[in-house]
Structure 1
Amino acid sequence: MTALDTAFAASGVLAVVGGLLAVTTRHVVHAALWLVVALLGVAGALLVLGAELVALVLVLVYVGAVVVLVLFALMLTRAPVGPDLAHTVGPWRRLGSGLLGLASAGLLATVLVPLADGTVQRADVGSQQVAGQLFGTWVWPFELLSLLLLAALVGALAVARRPDAGAPSRRRGAS
């Protein structure tokens, strides 16, 4: 086992553990922070594989924009920071979601296992080709994504600045 294999395995374990902790924690802020850990693990795996541009875009777009937007929206909407016990689900839903997760992992494994044993020929794509596609063909979807994130940020500000509907209004002179 080479050093690259060890680094890839370590970043893969980091991504899987971060992802599992992101979906199993009851703290919303902790879930967002564990998502950062999982995404950084995926970026580390991409770096080991030699896809530096894709790893950089993943860190910039997802960690730098989406997760920061989620944390910003949580702070602005005054969402509860502690454990969310009001939205717990029963054991049948947990079992069903676990089975669905295992089925998704099995489907992913059936696609990725042939890549590991070498029976599938890999395409030789360099970073310049990926950059050409990303900033040529796919530049407009990225721009639309940035507009969507901006609209979500403006929406979070509007929700945060709206007075509570259930709170009684206070007028001058009324007691």
Structure 2
Amino acid sequence: MSIIFYFLAAVTIIGALGVVLSPNVVHSALFLVLSFIGVAAIYFYIGAEFLGAVQLMVYSGAVAVLIVMAIMLTRRDSMAQSNPSQKLFRRVVTGLLAGGFFFLIGLGIVLSPLPGGELGASTGAQEIARLMLGTYILPFEIVAVLLLVAMVGALVLARGGDTA
């Protein structure tokens, strides 16, 4: 692996650590955007341009803006209480548990008997479209209907208690 990949991975990890360790919720949201951009850059680096573009548009753009807007639209008194785990003991215990979990995952990867494979040819937008609108058309349409139902449900909940 090259130095570019390690740099992009470091940017992504720094962003993820900033999300977890930042006491300010708005700063955490901005670190989340940094982490999303790092993941998109890794996608571009490995040749998955379509996934990189989707990552940038959907996560770095839409989801991050949605999170920041949700934070900004909440009341100020609830923002002060949004990060209640300020105690050092809880942070240390959580850090040790997370570190142990990641150590076990890394140990499992290192000791895995499976051989490392090489990356296949990258899948472009045409191949993804052919699969989504050909082989997997039924699951694609079911997901579209579920998203429509979720959007209508969100609109009904947002309107309030008035029913016609």
TM-score normalised by structure 2 residue count: 0.69
Counterpart of 1:120 in structure 2 is 116
* 1:15-54 aligned within 5 A: 15-54=12-51
Looking at structure 1, the residues matched to 155 and 23 of structure 2 have their Cα atoms a distance apart, in angstroms, of 24
RMSD between aligned residues: 3.7
Gaps of 5+ in 2: none
The 8 Å contact of residues 26 and 85 in structure 1, kept in 2 or not, is answered as: no
Measure how far apart 1:119 and its partner are.
2.7
User: Is 1:57 matched up with 2:54?
Assistant: yes
How many residue pairs match? The answer is: 153
Contact 1:46/1:52 (<8 A) preserved: yes
Task: Tell whether 2:109 aligns with 1:77.
Answer: no
Counterpart residue number, 1:163:
none
Give the secondary structure class of the aligned counterpart of 2:53: helix
| Mapped pair 1:90 → 2:83 | no
Give ranges in structure 1 of 5+ residues lacking alignment.
Answer: 160-175
**Amino-acid identity (%):** 29
Q: 1:19 to 1:158 in 2, by over 3 A?
A: farther
Q: Which has the larger radius of gyration?
A: 1
Cα deviation, 1:120-170, whole Å, max 9, x if unaligned, reads 224625323445456663645477458757866986x679xxxxxxxxxxx
Letter in 2 for 1:37: L
Residue of 96, 105, 110 corresponding to 1:99: 96
Code of the residue aligned with 1:57 in structure 2: it is: V
The TM-score normalised by the length of structure 1 is 0.65
